[in-house]
Amino acid sequence: MNIDRLKAIGVFLFSFIFYSLMAAKEYTWLFASGDSGDWLAASNMWLVPQPYGSPLYITLGHFLDMFGGDLVVKMTIILSCLPAAVTVMLVYLIVKHLTGKKNIALIASAVLLGAGIFLTQATVLEQYSLAVMFVVLGYYFYLKDKKWLVALSLGLGSANHILVIPIAALWLLLDRKRWRAWAKVIPLYTVSGLLPYILILWLMTTDAPRLLAGGLSLQAINSYLGSTSVMGSLSIMSLPERLLDFAALIIMGFGLAIIPIRLAFKKPWAMHIKLLIMAIIFPVWYYLTCRDPTSWTFMAYACPFIAIAAGIGLAKINKTYVLKAVTISAIAIIMLNSIFLNADVLAKANPKAQDYYNEIQSIPDGSAIVIYRGGFEAMAMYYAFSEGKDIIPIFLTDYNYEEDALYQYYLDWIHSEYNLKGNNTQHLTADALAQNIPVYVLTPILKKWTLAFEHNDTSLKYFDLVEGVDLTLVVHTENNKYSAE
């Protein structure tokens, strides 16, 4: 084995060990939009976590679930840390290929290793690391002129996260002059990237509980898009604040490496530079125009390409003091983010997600729990439910759900599965209590629960099961009133 391969393997191993040590070792909502509970549930049961579904990710989750061990740890290490480490290695290989300078390639890989946004997604249970790896792998094979492998890489990335589809389309549009050559590999992309979504379409027609997805209908998809705020929906008034947040993310994530980046984009642009620019611009545009406050996670797609651009720029400057300054900056960011963005430490210091999960597991089988249809607390319930916990989900009515297609699917499933009647939280709870089913309520939703039950013939009292437990038991008493036991 030659020295170049050993260096690349060394970059991978160091990155993998680093991310594994930093990774959260328990169920957590850190750095993400709370999707981890969805992914865990979908990896235990064949459910649709979101309308788009990430079919490759949940299939890999099911594969890992076939073996022993903690599913949280397995999915975090294998589906987040591992692909993130591969991506860091690919940045090294790409910069070395483009510049012919191994020292600069090492600096570029170090720049990515500690980049805040990329680091956060590499150390928690999320699908971004895997999707980003496939995009960067596709770019690497493009540089090697291996079109079939480009199509396969982008296809697998698309099957893992839907945002890769527009990236692949934009790259094809940029290189349209070679459309005949690309047309030959489009079938491979279609099979590996688009056809897997048939799994999601099929799951959305089954009788399984719908989680966030709802049923298969345009109304359900439209309802989801409206609630999560699609790209291009950010108001002009909010843009200055988002730009400031973006600047902070870039400066704190890349430090002095942002200085040489501009040199990478000096005209005339070769095609690989155009693809590089698009791989950065599209996620940045998405982040700056999407009203969803969690859209910063999509910036993970841009991070490897920003590091590659920094490497190209450093090669053009090729001054020792600049290389040293960027290297010191990268090392400083790695050290600082190891302290302040250490997912393992932060998850242990704030184990809210794990606490909710443990509390839900402690509820007696056959009980019901009043909970949001979405949100962090509901995701803990989804995970427990998917592991075989015998609980009845009753979703809180805190606004008019009659026009909400997603809620109607929840309601229909609850009625058929548990033989409950009624169209709001109060009726469903009353029906459950009439069947002597104990009902539990998560305390974060007590305020809205109280509003939902604000009637003259209803009194509510709450108590903690044990000190520090955020669950409240509501027991049915005479005259259809509710009180603490």
What pLDDT score was predicted for residue 404?
53
Question: How many CA atoms lie less than 13 Å away from 201 in the CB half-sphere?
Answer: 6
- Domain-by-domain residue ranges, the chain? 3-347, 352-483
SS (HEC) of the chain? CCHHHHHHHHHHHHHHHHHHHHCCCCCCCCCCCCCHHHHHHHHHCCCCCCCCCCHHHHHHHHHHHCCCCCHHHHHHHHHHHHHHHHHHHHHHHHHHHHHCCHHHHHHHHHHHHCCHHHHHHHCCCCCHHHHHHHHHHHHHHHHCCCHHHHHHHHHHHHHHCCCHHHHHHHHHHHCHHHHHHHHCCHHHHHHHHHCCHHHHHHHCCCCCCCCCCCCCCHHHHHHHHHHHCCCCCCCHHHHHHHHHHHHHHHHHHHHHHHHHHHHHHCCCCCHHHHHHHHHHHHHHHHHHHCCCCCHHHHHHHHHHHHHHHHHHHHHHHCCHHHHHHHHHHHHHHHHHHHHHCCHHHHHHHCCHHHHHHHHHHHCCCCEEEEECCCHHHHHHHHHHHHCCCCEEEEECCCCCCCCCHHHHHHHHHHHHHHCCCCCCHHHHHHHHHHCCCCEEEEHHHHHHHHHHCCCCCCCCCCCECCCCCCEEEEEECHHHCEECC
Listed range (34-38, 134-138, 165-169) with the worst mean pLDDT: 34-38
Structure confidence by residue, pLDDT tens digits, 6-16:
999 999 999 99
Listed range (16-20, 70-74, 322-326, 363-367) with the worst mean pLDDT: 363-367
What pLDDT score was predicted for residue 52?
72
Task: Count other C-beta atoms under 10 Å from residue 335's C-beta.
Answer: 11
Across 379-384, average pLDDT: 81
Listed range (79-93, 116-130, 346-360, 362-376) with the worst mean pLDDT: 362-376
C-alpha 211 chain-centroid distance: 16
pLDDT at 438 over 70: yes
Q: Higher confidence at residue 49 or residue 262? A: 262
Structure confidence by residue, pLDDT tens digits, 22-71:
999 988 887 766 678 888 988 988 877 776 778 999 999 999 999 988 99
Q: Higher confidence at residue 356 or residue 320? A: 320
Ranked by mean pLDDT, which of 22-31, 223-232, 248-257 comes out on top?
248-257
Q: Binning pLDDT at 50, 70 and 90, where does residue 453 land?
A: very low
Cβ-count burial 276-296 (b if 16+ within 10 Å, e if not): bbbbbebbbebbbebebeebb
Ranked by mean pLDDT, which of 206-220, 263-277, 351-365, 404-418 comes out on top?
263-277
What separation in angstroms does the CA of 194 have from each of 164, 188, 199?
A: 11, 10, 10
Q: How far is 274 from 60, CA to CA, in rounded Å?
A: 33
Across 248-276, average pLDDT: 92
Q: Is the peptide bond before 49 cis (omega within 30 degrees of 0)?
A: no
What pLDDT score was predicted for residue 413?
63
C-alpha 202 chain-centroid distance: 22
Length of the chain: 485
Q: Higher confidence at residue 99 or residue 384? A: 99
**72 touches 44 (CB < 8 A):** no
For the chain, what is the mean pLDDT? 81
Rounded percentage of the chain residues whose pLDDT exceeds 90: 50
Listed range (79-88, 207-216, 446-455) with the worst mean pLDDT: 446-455
pTM (predicted TM-score): 0.86
